[in-house]
Amino acid sequence: MDKPAAMNEKLRQEFNQWALDGRSSALEAHHRCFVEDTLQLMNIQPADRILEVGCGEGWASRRLASLVPEGLVVGLDVADEMVSKARPGSAACDNLLFVWADVEAIPWQEKFFSKALCVETFYYLENPENALREIFRVLSPGGSVWIVNHLSKENEITLRWLPHFRVPVNLLSAEDYGKLFESCGFQEYAFHMIPDRTPDSDASYYQHLTDPDERRRFRELGALLMTARRPEE
Ligand SMILES: C[S@@+](CC[C@H](N)C(=O)[O-])C[C@H]1O[C@@H](n2cnc3c(N)ncnc32)[C@H](O)[C@@H]1O
C-alpha cells in the first residue's frame, strides 16, 4: 500500500496495534446493534455512494455494500493494518473498496458521496473541524453525514473511560457538534440517543464499568447519533 501524503502517525500506530492484538475484531459484536439502528434512520437507497470514515476491519462497510447493489461503498481508515484486515473479506464485493487515508485528507473527488457514516471514530480525530470540512467537500449537495459515538457529554458514564485512552480524545456534546456542523456549512442537523441493546456479557468491553448501576445507566443512555446535511445548490 502506498503511504498517504498526510496522516496522523500517532493514531495510525495506536490502531495498527488494535488490529495486531485482536481488539478490533471484537468491535462488531458491540457496535452492530446501534449501527443497525443508525442504518434504519439513514434511508439508504440502492444507488447510494457511501463513505465510511474509520471503517476498522470493514464489517459495517460490508453491511452497507449489501444495501447499495447499484451504488458504491468506500471504507477509509488511518491504520494500514485495519485496511489489510478489511480487504480480503471484501474481495467478492464489486461495489466495495477500502482506502488507507486520514479523514483530514480524503483522497477522493469533491461532491461524490451521497452519505457518510462514522462509527465510534470521531472523538479520536485530531482536528474535528478539518475532518468535517473534508467530509462536507466529498458529499454531494443534499448528501448527509451520520456520526455515532458512545463517548459524549450526553452519556456521562463514558467519562469513566477518559483516563484509559492512550491517545488524545475529544469529549463533545450534541451542542458542540451542532456548532461544528454549522461552521462547516452543514444544515438540518439532528441528534438522537440510541440505547445500547448489545449483549451485556463481555467483561473486557465493560472493564472500566464495574458498578452494575453505572453499567445499566451507560446502556440506557447509549450512543449519541448526530446527522446533518450538505445544502442543495
Ligand atoms: C474504535 S475504532 C472503530 C472501528 C469501526 N468503526 C468499528 O466500529 O468497528 C476507530 C477507528 O477509527 C480509525 N481512525 C482513527 N482516526 C482516524 C483518522 N484520522 N482518519 C481515519 N480513520 C481514523 C482507527 O484506525 C480505527 O479503525
Q: What is the pTM of this model?
A: 0.96
What number does the ligand 1 atom closest to the CA of 27 have? 9
User: Using one digit for the tens of pLDDT, what is the confidence trace for 144-198?
Assistant: 999 999 999 999 999 888 888 999 999 999 999 999 999 999 999 999 999 988 7
What number does the ligand 1 atom closest to the CA of 103 have? 20
- pLDDT (0 to 100) of residue 75: 98
CATH of 9-229, one of 3.30.930.10, 3.90.1150.10, 3.30.2350.10, 3.40.50.150: 3.40.50.150
15 Cβ inside 6 Å of ligand 1? yes
Instruction: Please name the residue whose Cα sits nearest to atom 14 of ligand 1.
Output: 54
79's CB contacts (< 8 A; 6+ apart) are 11, 12, 14, 15, 16, 18, 19, 100
- pLDDT (0 to 100) of residue 4: 84
Instruction: Please name the residue whose Cα sits nearest to atom 8 of ligand 1.
Output: 119
- Round to whole Å and give the CA distance between 169 and 159: 11
User: Using one digit for the tens of pLDDT, what is the confidence trace for 13-22?
Assistant: 999 999 999 9
User: Using one digit for the tens of pLDDT, what is the confidence trace for 74-118?
Assistant: 999 999 999 999 999 888 899 999 999 999 999 999 999 999 999
115 Cβ inside 6 Å of ligand 1? no
In 3-state terms, what secondary structure has residue 185?
coil
121 Cβ inside 6 Å of ligand 1? yes
- pLDDT (0 to 100) of residue 173: 94
Q: Is the pLDDT of residue 47 over 80?
A: yes
